[in-house]
């Protein structure tokens, strides 16, 4: 019998739709809880879709689980992870009525003792240090005095990071004490009214409403700066054991805080070892990502943070040991990973539409594997419409005509 997976997502990330397509191809029945205008609604892969409410997030997740009756849940983004953790705690506080949902979340994400760790950047790094993993010095900063003491001891540049943020929004590279204090104040405070209003009115996104109303301040950390190249790992794991993994070096990004637009497949022993150690230490299950810096002078890999959900590489099927959707299907069904086929033999992956928007004449569009969802033209068009640089262009043309005129390089 095919396992049923519920993909729970709050943010309109294109990569979530791609992962659902890959899970369907791997043999899963896929259902979803998402926003009303999520790109995955343009695909044909989700058998059922339930509404996500940013005003009542935990309740909407609970209702979706009750209706979908999944064998497994995959959070599509960091906020979805938080909601599932909150739902777990809520259900555990109930009588036996909540045991089925809490057991499902634990089966999907792993040991609940790991839940607080994945929120706290400093606690995660300290745990990695105990495992003998190479990491940059990281410390939680409570106030300006502690920040100044950190700066006097560690020097600059440094990285200031806020817990509970994602997509680069809560990260600042600072090169002086003045920049560090400015970043600390900005990252610590709750979202401002103008930002919340823009999200609600223009993006129809209510995820910032509760943080704004409760005036919740973020926990801020300082991390030693490691100069070099960014790298990333994504694994599928079960009960503390890595089942499949992808390791990439980042070649291009749209901006310093944006996701990668071009990556290259690598095999770094330090990255492999670090991922396996942390998955085992935290007893994790599901998709888990790890971010690294490859030091410029030595090439040594420094583990800098964890993402307890799929990243944008999750849908890529790159052969035995590198086919994460197939490994997830096997873990859910209790079977073994069957024969897998690579989507490409090219080690360089060019993400759509990031690199195309960054540089329409990028040489990587010709030399790398351009990961365009040609099989889902409605998804492709929806993705392009969402890009701010393309809104006016698309508003003047019929979508089908605009799509044909885009002249995307095919593989």
4-109 and 228-350 have identical folds? no
Provide the pLDDT for residue 12: 78
The per-residue b/e assignment along 10-20, b for 16 or more CB within 10 angstroms, e otherwise, is bbbbbbbbbbb
The answer to whether 264 touches 230, Cβ cutoff 8 Å, is: no
Sketch the domain layout of the chain as residue ranges: 4-109, 137-224, 228-350
The answer to whether 64 touches 6, Cβ cutoff 8 Å, is: yes
* CATH, range 4-109: 3.40.50.20
Q: Which residues lie below 8 Å from residue 335, measured CB to CB, with a gap of 6+?
A: 329
Provide the pLDDT for residue 95: 62
Provide the pLDDT for residue 334: 84
Q: Which residues lie below 8 Å from residue 93, measured CB to CB, with a gap of 6+?
A: none
Report d(CA 2, CA 10) in Å as an integer.
Answer: 26
- Span 197-251, pLDDT tens digits: 555 555 555 555 556 555 567 889 999 999 999 999 999 999 999 999 999 999 9
Provide the pLDDT for residue 168: 62
Architecture of domain 228-350: 2-Layer Sandwich (3.30)
Any bridge partners for residue 7, and if so which? 32, 74
The per-residue b/e assignment along 33-63, b for 16 or more CB within 10 angstroms, e otherwise, is bbbeebbbbbbebbeebbebbbeebbebbbb
User: 137-224: which CATH topology?
Assistant: Dna Ligase; domain 1 (3.30.1490)
**What does DSSP say about strands 228-238 and 158-162: parallel, antiparallel, or unpaired?**
unpaired
The answer to whether 141 touches 220, Cβ cutoff 8 Å, is: yes
Query: Is the backbone peptide bond immediately before 366 cis, with ω within 30 degrees of 0?
Result: no
pLDDT < 70: residue spans in the chain:
95-98, 164-168, 190-216, 386-411
Provide the pLDDT for residue 98: 56
Tokens of 257: 């805080």
- Span 310-354, pLDDT tens digits: 999 999 999 999 999 999 999 998 877 777 789 999 999 999 988
Provide the pLDDT for residue 216: 66
Helix (H) or strand (E) holding 84: helix 78-92
User: Which three-class secondary structure state does DSSP give residue 274?
Assistant: helix
Report d(CA 24, CA 41) in Å as an integer.
Answer: 15
Count Cα neighbours of 306 within 13 Å in the Cβ-side half-sphere: 28
Q: Which residues lie below 8 Å from residue 203, measured CB to CB, with a gap of 6+?
A: none
Enter the DSSP assignment of 110: B
Helix (H) or strand (E) holding 161: strand 158-162
């Amino acid at each position: 019998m095919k396992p049923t997976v519920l993909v729970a997502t709050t943010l309109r990330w294109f990569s979530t739709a791609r992962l659902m397509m890959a899970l369907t191809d791997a043999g899963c029945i896929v259902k979803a809880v998402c926003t009303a205008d999520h790109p995955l609604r343009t695909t044909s892969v989700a058998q059922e879709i339930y509404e996500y409410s940013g005003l009542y997030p935990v309740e909407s997740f609970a209702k979706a689980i009750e209706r979908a009756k999944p064998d497994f849940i995959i959070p599509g983004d960091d906020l979805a992870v938080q909601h599932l953790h909150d739902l777990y705690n809520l259900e555990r506080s109930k009588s036996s009525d909540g045991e089925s949902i809490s057991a499902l979340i634990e089966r999907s994400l792993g040991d609940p003792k790991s839940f607080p760790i994945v929120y706290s950047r400093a606690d995660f790094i300290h745990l990695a240090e105990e495992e003998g993993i190479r990491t940059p010095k990281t410390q939680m900063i409570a106030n300006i005095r502690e920040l100044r003491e950190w700066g006097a001891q560690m020097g600059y540049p440094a990285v200031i990071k806020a817990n509970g943020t994602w997509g680069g929004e809560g990260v600042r590279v600072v090169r002086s004490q003045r920049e560090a204090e400015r970043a600390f104040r900005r990252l610590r405070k709750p979202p401002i009214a103008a930002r919340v209003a823009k999200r609600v009115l223009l993006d129809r996104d209510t995820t910032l409403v509760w943080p704004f109303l409760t005036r919740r301040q973020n926990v801020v950390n300082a991390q030693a700066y490691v100069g070099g190249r960014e790298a990333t790992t994504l694994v599928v794991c079960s009960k503390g054991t890595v089942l499949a993994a992808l390791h990439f070096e980042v070649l291009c990004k749209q901006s310093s805080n944006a996701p990668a637009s071009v990556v290259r497949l690598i095999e770094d022993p330090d990255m492999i070892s670090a991922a396996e150690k942390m998955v085992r230490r935290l007893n994790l299950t599901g998709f888990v990502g790890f971010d690294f810096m490859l030091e410029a002078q030595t090439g040594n890999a420094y583990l800098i943070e964890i993402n307890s959900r799929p990243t944008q590489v999750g849908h890529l099927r790159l052969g035995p040991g590198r086919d994460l959707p197939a490994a997830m299907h096997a873990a859910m069904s209790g079977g073994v990973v069957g024969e897998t086929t690579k989507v490409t033999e090219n080690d360089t992956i060019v993400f759509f539409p990031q690199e195309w928007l960054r540089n329409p004449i990028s040489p990587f569009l010709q030399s790398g594997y351009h990961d365009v969802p040609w099989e889902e033209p409605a998804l492709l068009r929806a993705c392009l419409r969402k890009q701010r640089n393309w809104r006016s262009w698309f508003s003047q043309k019929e979508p089908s005509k605009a799509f044909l005129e885009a002249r995307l390089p095919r593989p």
